[in-house]
């Protein structure tokens, strides 16, 4: 039998990523992208005799490790826990859009749980993960799902606003590598259309049109149409000339602030291209399109709320995957000035390797594993 946390740390030292890939013995695989692409993943049978889903590193915590653990656990689980506890549990069988293999995997983490190690303290907790309910697929799902998964009182729009402001503050104070951030943003929203076709069939270019200038743009488009240009070509020409490109940090702030509401300053325009050229123009005439949360937003959200965020992908078997598996995609805060809170888990639905459901997030409610269930099935180790 392995010596719980100390043995885990010895194994973890073999990995260079902040979030090592460790597999618990179970009927279902638990892995991250690194384990599938880069190989590996340790099989780790672990027993947990400690109380209330708690694993303590005695060497680090000292002789009074129980008191230290209780204090750390209280800090991690403070305030939102009562809100989360009030959310009723739903059977995974009742969740729409899941295959039988995916239901099996998610049922396992709802009963056996996942083991999370505090990034900065000698504390490890075991959480069971439960479905937190559907959220509207309106482009705001990352923020709506995060608000529900964290149990905070702020609205989804307030969570989006705080996330964007956190990025802006860190971007301006050099907490973020500006060159790296600008490069990533450009790749995401203003891609070089001379490359990338070996990976993508369609590439999107995102532009921001000021709501106050839409009427003038419409008139300019109609003028071009009147002299024989097609509507899509005319719209492409006018929007590329008059709209803001999303290709660096400040334009990303404007883009990610768009929630599809009349109060937004900008409308999102999407130009779609294939390798042959322009495919279509989504002019977003009603201004309902919202900016989908990306990895930059998730990291900023994690930083603002001082939590690790795990995006959970459940895949059934298909041509790419011989067996059903779970992917836990970690997003750590850039830094934490206070104390780490309870981690957040978000379900990204999808069938097949590409996550065919798109980037649609739904909340997972993390609950501390009950004392009477701690000894028994080993949880997934994050």
The 10 Å Cβ neighbour count of residue 14 is 9
Q: What is the mean pLDDT of residues 79-98?
A: 69
Query: Among 37-41, 74-78, 301-305, where is mean pLDDT lowest?
Result: 37-41
pLDDT interval class at 338 (50, 70, 90): confident
**pLDDT recorded at residue 50:** 35
CA-CA distance, 291 to 206, in Å (whole number)? 10
Distances (CA, A) of 44 to 2, 24, 28, 261, 322: 8, 5, 14, 48, 22
Retrieve residue 42's tokens. 């340790």
**What's the whole-model pTM score?**
0.78
What is the model's pLDDT at position 81?
52
Calculate helix-pair angle for 249-256, 295-304, nearest 10 degrees. 80
Predicted local confidence at residue 14, as pLDDT: 33
Give the largest CA-CA distance in the chain: 84
372 neighbors 56 (Cβ within 8 angstroms): no
Res 77: pLDDT: 60
| Mean pLDDT estimate for the chain | 78
Q: Which range is least confidently modeled, 8-17, 175-184, 227-236, 325-334?
A: 8-17
3-state secondary structure string, 301-346? HHHHCCCCEEEEEEECCCCCCCCCEEEEEEECCCCCCCCCCCCEEE
> Which of 4-18, 58-72, 119-133, 159-173 is predicted least confidently?
4-18
Cα angle 66, 70, 73 (rounded to 5 degrees) comes to 135
Contact between 142 and 364 (Cβ < 8 Å): no
């Amino acid at each position: 039998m392995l010596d719980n946390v100390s043995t885990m740390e010895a194994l973890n030292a073999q990995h260079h990523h902040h979030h090592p890939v460790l597999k618990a013995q179970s009927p279902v695989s638990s892995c991250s992208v690194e384990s599938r692409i880069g190989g590996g993943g340790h099989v780790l049978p672990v027993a947990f005799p400690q109380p209330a889903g708690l694993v303590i590193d005695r060497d680090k915590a000292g002789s009074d490790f129980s008191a230290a653990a209780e204090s750390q656990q209280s800090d991690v689980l403070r305030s939102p826990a009562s809100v989360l506890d009030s959310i009723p549990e739903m059977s995974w069988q009742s969740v729409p859009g899941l295959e039988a293999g995916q239901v099996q995997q998610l049922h396992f983490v709802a009963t056996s749980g996942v083991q999370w190690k505090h990034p900065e303290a000698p504390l490890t907790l075991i959480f069971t993960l439960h479905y937190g309910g559907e959220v509207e697929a309106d482009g705001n799902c990352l923020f709506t799902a995060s608000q529900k998964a964290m149990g905070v009182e702020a609205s989804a729009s307030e969570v989006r606003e705080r996330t964007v402001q956190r990025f802006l503050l860190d971007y301006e104070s050099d907490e973020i590598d500006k060159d790296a951030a600008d490069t990533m943003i450009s790749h995401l929203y203003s891609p070089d259309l001379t490359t990338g076709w070996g990976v993508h069939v369609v590439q999107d270019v995102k532009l921001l049109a000021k709501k106050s200038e839409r009427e003038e743009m419409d008139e300019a488009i109609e003028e071009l149409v009147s002299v024989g240009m097609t509507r899509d070509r005319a719209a492409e020409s006018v929007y590329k000339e008059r709209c803001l490109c999303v290709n660096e940090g400040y334009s990303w702030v404007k883009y990610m602030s768009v929630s599809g509401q009349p109060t937004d300053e900008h409308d999102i325009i999407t130009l779609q291209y294939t390798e042959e050229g322009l495919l279509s123009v989504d002019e977003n005439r009603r201004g309902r399109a919202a900016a989908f949360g990306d990895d930059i937003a998730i990291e900023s959200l994690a930083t603002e709320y001082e939590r690790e965020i795990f995006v959970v992908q459940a895949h059934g078997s298909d041509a790419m995957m011989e067996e059903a598996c779970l992917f836990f995609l970690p997003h750590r805060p850039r830094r934490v000035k206070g104390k780490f809170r309870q981690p957040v888990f978000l379900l990204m639905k999808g069938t097949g390797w590409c996550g065919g459901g798109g980037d649609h997030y739904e909340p997972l409610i993390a609950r501390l594993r009950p004392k009477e269930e701690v000894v028994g099935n080993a949880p997934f180790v994050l």
